[in-house]
Structure 1
C-alpha cells in the first residue's frame, strides 16, 4: 500500500488491504524517491509513520535498519504484521514515543493527518538528538481536478459541497511549520507528478474519495462517484492509455539537533 491511513478521527476513511493493493498499488512504487532521500542505514531505528500494509516498511528493512510501523487502520496494521513488520496501531496525531528513533519516515500519509502541529510534536519527541524526518505527501494543488469533480457531482445531485479537506500545504508553509517545531530543513520541494491510475478514475474514487462522500447514503455515494468519473473522462492519458491524476507531491528532509 503505503501509508495514507493515519488520519484524524473524523476523516471518514476505512481501508481494505485487498482493495488497496489492487487500486492503489502505485503508491509504494512511487515512494522510491522518498526512500532514497532517507537513505536508511544498517542498525538504525526508523519509524514508518503511516506504514499502511508495510510494503515500504519492508523495503526500509532490507537496509538492515530496525523498522517500526504505525498506522491508524487495524486492517492495514495486520497486513503489515503479516509481512513481518513490527507494526503498532496508533494515531499519527498521538505518537507515544520518546527519543527512540534515528529517523522518522512517511510516504503519502501526512496529508491525511489534518492537525499537523500535533503530528510534528510527536515526531520531534520520537526522534533522538541528530535524528531526521524525511517524507513525501500531497502538496498544494494535489488532485485538485479530481476534488473539483467530486464537489461538482455532489452539487449536481443536490448534496452540496463536502466540508472535508486534506492537508495539502505549500512548501513554504510546511517549512515554516517544521521550523516552529525545532527542525532544520535541509530540503523541501514541490514536485508536479502526473500519476497513472491503474484501475482508472473509478478505482481511485472507490479507494480515496470516501471522506468527501461520508455524509451520503451508499446509493448516493455510488451515484456521485459515477458522475464524478464522467466529469473526469477527459483526463490526459499516458502511453498505456491510463488516466493521469494531477498529483502534486511535497518532498522534504529535516533534522533535529
Structure 2
C-alpha cells in the first residue's frame, strides 16, 4: 500500500522488522488476549496483524479472524500461515456492523489520526460489540525517546516532528472513545519493562527507523551509537542485560 499522511515516514521498514521482533511483541499481549476472551464462531477484526503471529493464536479459539495491515509484506506472511488477511489503511476501514469484536496489540501508537481509526472501529462493530486493544501509553519508552531527541538535536536536527508515535494518557484516550459512542468498561496504564535478549542496538535500529529514515547511513549509525551510550546507565544492568521502559495502555470498550 502506498504510504499516506496517516502513517509515519519509514513505517514500512518498521513493518518489515515486525516478524523478527514478533516473539517479544507477543509476550506483551497475553493479558490483552485474555481481556478480549474470543469465543467460537465470533467474527473478530485485528488491526495491525503483522505477520499473523498473534492472529494465529487468537484463531485457536475457533473465532473467525480477519487481520488487516498496511504492509503488503506482512499481509503476505499472514496469508502464508493460512490466515485471512487484507492490506488496508486502519484510518479508512470499509466495514459496516460486521464484527463481534475488534482487537489490536502494539499497533495503534503508530497511527496519527486516532479519531478516524476509532470511528471506523465503531462502524465495523455490531451493536454491543467490543473494542479491546493494547498500545504504548503515556510514558512509554520515555528514556529511549529522550536519548533519540538528544542525539538528533546535538547535530542540529529538529526532533519534534520526527517522532511518529502517539502514547496517550488514560484521560485522552477515554475521551476519544466516549466521543465516538463507546462505553469504556476498563482502561489502565501498565508499566511493563521489556527485556531485550538481543541487546539495545539491534532493537533500537528497528524501532527508530521512522525517526532516522531520510538520514545518511553514517549519520544514522552515529545517532544510534550516541543514544545507546546515553541509555546504558539507566536501561542496562551490571551484567549487560538491557530492558526497555515500556508502559502499556490497555482498554476494553463497548459499542
Normalised to the residue count of structure 2, the TM-score between the two structures is: 0.92
Q: Which runs of 5+ in 1 are unaligned?
A: 1-5
For residues 137 and 204 of structure 1, do their structure 2 counterparts lie closer, same or farther at Cα, with a shift above 3 Å needed? same
- Aligned residue in 2 for 1:3: none
Rounded Cα–Cα distance in structure 2 between residues aligned with 1:17 and 1:202? 18
Question: Could you tell me whether the CA contact under 8 Å between 1:111 and 1:168 is conserved in 2?
Answer: yes
Residue of structure 2 aligned with 1:22, choices 17, 20, 23? 20
Rounded Cα–Cα distance in structure 1 between residues aligned with 2:231 and 2:52? 31
For residues 177 and 192 of structure 1, do their structure 2 counterparts lie closer, same or farther at Cα, with a shift above 3 Å needed? same
Residue of structure 1 aligned with 2:92, choices 82, 94, 110? 94
For residues 244 and 120 of structure 1, do their structure 2 counterparts lie closer, same or farther at Cα, with a shift above 3 Å needed? same
Question: Could you tell me whether the CA contact under 8 Å between 2:46 and 2:102 is conserved in 1?
Answer: yes
Q: CA RMSD in A?
A: 2.1
Question: Could you tell me whether the CA contact under 8 Å between 1:98 and 1:126 is conserved in 2?
Answer: yes
Residue of structure 1 aligned with 2:73, choices 68, 72, 75? 75
Question: Could you tell me whether the CA contact under 8 Å between 1:16 and 1:75 is conserved in 2?
Answer: no
Question: Could you tell me whether the CA contact under 8 Å between 2:139 and 2:167 is conserved in 1?
Answer: yes
Q: String of CA shifts for 1:124-182, please: whole Å, max 9, x gaps.
A: 01001110000100101110110110111112233232413311110111111100000
1:133-172 maps to which residues of 2 (within 5 A)? 133-165=131-163, 166-172=165-171
Deviates more, 1:13-22 or 1:206-215: 13-22
Normalised to the residue count of structure 1, the TM-score between the two structures is: 0.91
- Aligned residue in 2 for 1:122: 120
Q: String of CA shifts for 1:100-125, please: whole Å, max 9, x gaps.
A: 10000000011011100000111001
Runs of 4+ off more than 4 Å: 16-19, 237-241
